Amino acid sequence: MEEFVQHISEEFKNIFFIKGANNGRYPFSHSLLIDDFLIDTGISSRLLRKLKRNFQLKNILLSHWHEDHISGNRLLPSAKFYIHTNDKMLVQNVDRFDEFYGVSNTPAANEFEWLMDSLKLINTKIERVYKDKETVSVGDDYQIEIIHTPGHTAGHCAFIELNSKIAFLADIDLTKFVFYAGNDSNLIQFEESIEKLKQIDMEIAVTGHRGVIRGEKNIKKELDDYKSIIHKRDERVLSYLSNSKPIFLDDLKGKNLIYKYYSEFKQYEIIAELIMIQKHFDKFLEKKLVITKNNGFILN
């Protein structure tokens, strides 16, 4: 067996952790294989070709529309693809990614286009959409329950195989970085989704970029730690506000409130950071922590 294909459980022989290239770091991601159902295709073209030689990949469950989770779709022309109804449009219209990432007509547009082209994304025909709590049968031995976990994207989903209690949490990825910079991202929903996952009976969790976490207590602690990253960002953003002088979104540009440092993709990261800061303001407004003043924000 290839090194990147790893058994997760001695009892459940047909469930495999598929380790993405560069340890699942962007622009790659990890996958979970349950019999002939593969969750996400972003492990890298090289590894996906190897996987195809050893396994039948007849059905693909997509966790969400982001490029690092669908980049291998073109290599599986005979497979049937499934996704949540809220993310279907973008997987079928990848030319709209720049719009949903907020980079259209910005200094980052050319950089973003180059990255998308390098991943060779294609429009993917969706065979079927699924809804929250729907169950997908995999042969006679496995049942995959869909868990709608919006916030990262509108249709983001996690999955739990009910017999083994092995879950795939996708981009509620339990890393040190939480991402919600899409036009369809929603910070309140993201936090609700984390809480929702804490109620799921799971013994092993696989995430899109972290890998395998074992033990119900460990998984719940990791989910709490992940949510705390959002709360720490809340505090950083709120620290710039007062009760009188309004703060504007552009006042927080380039202050590393989300990214600890900017990489070679700085132009995009600054745009993404501002979008995420706006998500915090949206949350603060809904929770009445801030109010608007002269098109800026002050503490309520």
Q: Are 279 and 193 contained in the same domain?
A: no
**Residue carrying the six token digits 């700085």:** 266
Cβ neighbours of 244 (radius 10 Å)? 8
Task: Tell me the pairing of strands 128-130 and 59-61.
Answer: unpaired
Q: Are 155 and 261 contained in the same domain?
A: no
The full DSSP string for 200-260 is S--SEEEESSS-EEESHHHHHHHHHHHHHHHHHHHHHHHTT--SSS-B-GGGGTTS-SS-S
Q: Are 100 and 207 contained in the same domain?
A: yes
Q: Are 187 and 268 contained in the same domain?
A: no
| pLDDT surpasses 80 at 6 | yes
Bond into 107 cis (ω within 30): no
Q: Are 57 and 147 contained in the same domain?
A: yes
Mean pLDDT of the chain: 97
Q: Show the domain range for 56.
A: 5-230
Q: Are 56 and 188 contained in the same domain?
A: yes
| pLDDT surpasses 80 at 282 | yes
Sign of CA dihedral 48, 50, 53, 55: negative
Give the pLDDT score at 242: 97
- State the average pLDDT over residues 154-165: 98
Comparing CA positions, the residue from 236, 238, 229, 204 lying closest to residue 219 is: 204
- State the average pLDDT over residues 283-293: 97
β-partners of residue 34 are 15, 37
Estimate to the nearest angstrom the gap between the alpha carbon of 83 and the chain centroid: 13
State what percent of residues in the chain have pLDDT above 70.
100
| pLDDT surpasses 90 at 264 | no
Q: Are 90 and 168 contained in the same domain?
A: yes
**pLDDT tens track for 71-127:** 999 999 999 999 999 999 999 999 999 999 999 999 999 989 999 999 999 999 999
**Any residues with CB less than 8 A from the CB of 162 and at least 6 apart, and which?**
135, 142, 143, 144, 145
Q: Are 179 and 143 contained in the same domain?
A: yes
At 238, is the pLDDT very low, low, confident or very high (cuts 50, 70, 90)? Answer: very high
**Residue carrying the six token digits 């993709």:** 265
Number of domains in the chain: 2
**pLDDT tens track for 127-149:** 999 999 999 999 999 999 999 99
Give the pLDDT score at 45: 97
Q: Are 279 and 181 contained in the same domain?
A: no
Q: Which of 202, 230, 258 is the last residue of a domain?
A: 230
**CATH (domain of 161):** 3.60.15.10
| C-alpha span between 166 and 168 (Å, rounded) | 7
Q: Are 220 and 252 contained in the same domain?
A: no
Give the pLDDT score at 1: 72
**pLDDT tens track for 184-228:** 999 999 999 999 999 999 999 999 999 999 999 999 999 999 999
Note the pTM of the prediction, 2 decimals.
0.97
Q: Are 225 and 247 contained in the same domain?
A: no
Joined together, the tokens standing for residue 39 give: 């969750």
Give the pLDDT score at 17: 98
Q: Are 39 and 167 contained in the same domain?
A: yes
| pLDDT surpasses 90 at 265 | no
